[in-house]
Amino acid sequence: MKRTAVIVGSGPNGLSAGIELARAGFDVEVREAASMPGGGARSGELTLPGFIHDYGSAVYPMAVASPFFSKLRMHAHGLRWVWSPAEVAHPLDDGTAVLLYRDVTQTAAQLEGADGQAWITLFEPLVRDWKIIMSEVLRPPIHVPRHPLLLARFGLRAFQPATMLARTWFGGQRARALFAGVAAHSILKLESPLSAAFGFILGGSGHAAGWPVARGGAQTITNALSSILRSYGGRVVTEKRVTDLDELRAFDLKMLDITPRQLLQLTNGKLPGCFR
């Protein structure tokens, strides 16, 4: 008899977990409170007929770089990526903008003085070793590195605050603004340790793989993942709100693709104080 698994929340992470469990032989059910799956990766005609808007996220710098997504053959399930001529545009106070292109040299050519060469020095090795680095940084934090020296070199720079790295490596505002603007996607303070890591990972992704959007909106990503899950025998049940973890006792494995606050609500005060 198959083991059973339930996942609460049908965002990309929940659906991806469901696919992995279904491939491992579990009978998988993904529960979603809303009328359509996707969480923040949903789209709809929110203004005028025929105009598709994304509810949440719209651009996916890590999607095409993801080792997991790359093995799913999502194009066979209707997903089509679209790339802009420039991956990122960061506006400046003087009314101009600095752009991140796929080409490292083209990006560097916009920067003042020695900043162009500094950008090349930082990002060309990252792009060259991109797949190896991604295979390390997208694994669980506690693991034995397969490429320890390469990961250590990356980590020495990535551990820094983004502000410190930008001021150390760049003298002009354009390079500093571009790096800091990309790093700000971490939602960390730019003075915080590790904030530079997001500048490298997301900036490197722009150079190595691009920041694409899904043709037809983010919903097409969700639709592709849902289709893949169904192909392995899993199912997505919408309008199925879970209000207490006790509702899931019948399942062998339970996973939650929700926020910490939602987790506290589902446990109804049953978690120990140190965990809360």
Q: In tens digits, what is the pLDDT along the chain, a chain of 276 residues?
A: 889 999 999 999 999 999 999 999 999 999 999 999 999 999 999 999 999 999 998 898 888 888 888 889 999 999 999 999 999 999 999 999 999 999 999 999 999 999 999 999 999 999 999 988 888 887 777 777 787 888 888 888 999 999 999 999 999 999 999 999 999 998 899 999 999 999 999 999 999 999 999 999 999 999 999 999 999 999 999 999 999 989 999 999 999 999 888 988 888 877 777 776
pLDDT tens by residue, 208-250: 999 999 999 999 999 999 999 999 999 999 999 999 989 999 9
Same domain, 201 and 116: yes
Q: Are 98 and 90 in contact (CB under 8 A)?
A: yes
pLDDT tens by residue, 128-140: 999 888 888 877 7
Q: Which of 165, 185, 208 lies at the terminal end of a domain, its last residue?
A: 208
Same domain, 92 and 190: yes
Q: Which residues contact 131 (CB under 8 A, 6 or more apart)?
A: none
Per-residue pLDDT at 113:
92
Same domain, 128 and 36: no
User: Which CATH number is 253's domain given?
Assistant: 3.50.50.60
Same domain, 201 and 258: no
Helices (DSSP H) in 24-114: which residue ranges?
67-70, 104-108
Residue 105 lies in a domain: yes
Residue 244 lies in a domain: yes
Same domain, 101 and 175: yes
Q: Which of 208, 225, 251 lies at the terminal end of a domain, its last residue?
A: 208
Q: How many domains does the chain have?
A: 2
Residue 44 lies in a domain: yes
Residue 274 lies in a domain: no
Residue 19 lies in a domain: yes
Instruction: Tell me the CA distances in angstroms from 225 to 19, 39, 56, 72, 75, one per residue in order.
Output: 8, 13, 17, 9, 10
Range of the domain at 171: 86-208
